[in-house]
Amino acid sequence: MIGLLIFRDFQLMDASGPISVFEIARRQKQSIPRTRIFAVKAGLVRSSSGAEMYAHNLRSARSLSTLIVAGGEGVEAAAECRTTIGFIQRLAKRGVRIASVCTGAYLLAEAGLLNGRYATTHWSRTRDFIGRYPRVKLQADRIFAKDGGVWTSAGVTAGIDLALAMVVEDHGDEISRATARQLVLYHRRSGGQSQFSTLLELKTPNGRFAGLLSWMRENLDAHLTVEALAERSGLSARHFVRSFVAETGSTPTRAVERLRVEVARERVQSSGETIERVAQATGFRDPERMRRAFIRAFGQPPQSLRRSARNAETALPGIS
């Protein structure tokens, strides 16, 4: 059985995302364990949205193969609950696979499970988490991390990626792909993928160039010169550059490279496409040009990021 641990003011999707993954996966393969929700007290547990989930009490959590701990606004109060922390510690000692979604990592850290381990959590909690738990090797920019039998993931939707990775580990890639298709997901993101989005970072509240930025991301293989982008915006090249920098904080040329690098990284890490094909599809055209852009952005060439992403399916770098 797969258990989901929740508490008052948990984040609803932190629990419902993984539950949905395992539900759909079980339709593909009946031997996949069922899921059950647990909390300190049995009954309805209110999420931060006001929606409620029914939970069984911790005493009924027997024969668990995996425990996934939700995060949410109520995580700090839950971290002070000795019953909750003791429950997590007992399961870990029994060899149960333990995971967290988003700020659920606080509960794992409080239980001592993350000391000396690589882990991640929501990017907005990085400074606070490091201050509280300096013995944890926090990797703030990861979608999810696995170190031994302990898994952690970033915010909300990353819990879906974590659950899909568990399906791969337990039941193979074919079941995971079928599950992702049923959930209408484009693909399963690798653990090493970034939590951040260039498109979101470049958009500003007034959104003057939001449409252009979205179009650029969908047409990365086009000749995205300053002149072409200025013409599409109905501005002179000089006026376009000045306005674009003022709104986004980036030059058009730099924005194009950032968008191309982000999409190229995603394809390098999550697909079997050749590096040459990725370079063509994302507008770099020349693999060497893409390699230089990757080194500027990530300090590593595409091949190294691909190897790291594949290693992340079983262990983080340095973990055997």
Does residue 134 share a domain with residue 87? yes
Does residue 271 share a domain with residue 298? yes
Per-residue pLDDT tens over the stretch 214-257 = 899 889 999 999 999 999 999 999 999 999 988 888 899 999 99
Does residue 206 share a domain with residue 172? no
pLDDT band per the 50, 70, 90 thresholds, residue 194? low
Does residue 89 share a domain with residue 115? yes
Does residue 254 share a domain with residue 148? no
Flag whether 192 is in a domain: no
Per-residue pLDDT tens over the stretch 31-66 = 999 999 999 999 999 999 999 999 999 999 989 999
- The arithmetic mean of pLDDT across residues 82-86, rounded, is 97
Flag whether 193 is in a domain: no
Please report the DSSP string for the chain in residue order. Answer: -EEEE--TTB-HHHHHHHHHHHHHHHHH-TTSPPEEEEESSSEEEEBTTS-EEEEEEGGG--S-SEEEE--STTHHHHHT-HHHHHHHHHHHHTT-EEEEEGGGHHHHHHTTTTTTSEE---GGGHHHHHHH-TTSEE-TT-SEEEETTEEEE-STTHHHHHHHHHHHHHH-HHHHHHHHHHTT-S-PPPTTS-S--HHHHH--TT-TTHHHHHHHHHTTTS---HHHHHHHHTS-HHHHHHHHHHHHSS-HHHHHHHHHHHHHHHHHHH----HHHHHHHTT--SHHHHHHHHHHHHSS-HHHHHHHHHHTTT--TT--
Residue pair 36/72 in contact by the 8 Å Cβ criterion? no
Flag whether 297 is in a domain: yes
Does residue 168 share a domain with residue 24? yes
Does residue 158 share a domain with residue 211? no
Does residue 214 share a domain with residue 164? no
Of 129, 152, 182, the residue that ends a domain is 182
The number of beta carbons lying within 10 Å of the beta carbon of residue 36 is 15
Range of the domain at 129: 2-182
Give how many domains the chain has, as a whole number. 2
| CA-based end-to-end distance of the chain | 27
- The arithmetic mean of pLDDT across residues 265-289, rounded, is 90
Of 182, 208, 241, the residue that ends a domain is 182
Predicted pLDDT at 317: 37
Flag whether 104 is in a domain: yes
Predicted pLDDT at 193: 52
Flag whether 41 is in a domain: yes
Does residue 255 share a domain with residue 120? no
> The domain that contains 24 carries what CATH number?
3.40.50.880
Specify the 3-state DSSP secondary structure of 124.
Answer: helix
> The domain that contains 277 carries what CATH number?
1.10.10.60
Predicted pLDDT at 318: 35
- The arithmetic mean of pLDDT across residues 75-96, rounded, is 97
- Between β-strands 43-46 and 52-57, what pairing exists: parallel, antiparallel or unpaired? antiparallel
Of 157, 182, 207, the residue that ends a domain is 182
Rounded to 5°, angle at Cα 172 from 170 and 176: 100
Q: How far apart are CA 152 and CA 98, in angstroms?
A: 9
Mean pLDDT of the chain: 88
Crossing angle of helices 12-28 and 173-182, rounded to 10°: 120
- The arithmetic mean of pLDDT across residues 72-77, rounded, is 96
- Identify the weakest region by mean pLDDT among 71-85, 96-110, 132-146, 197-211: 197-211
Per-residue pLDDT tens over the stretch 118-147 = 999 988 888 899 999 999 998 876 788 899
Flag whether 125 is in a domain: yes
Flag whether 188 is in a domain: no
58-72, 161-175, 208-222, 295-309: which has the highest mean pLDDT? Answer: 58-72
Does residue 144 share a domain with residue 60? yes
Predicted pLDDT at 316: 41
Predicted pLDDT at 117: 94
Residue pair 303/275 in contact by the 8 Å Cβ criterion? yes
Does residue 210 share a domain with residue 142? no
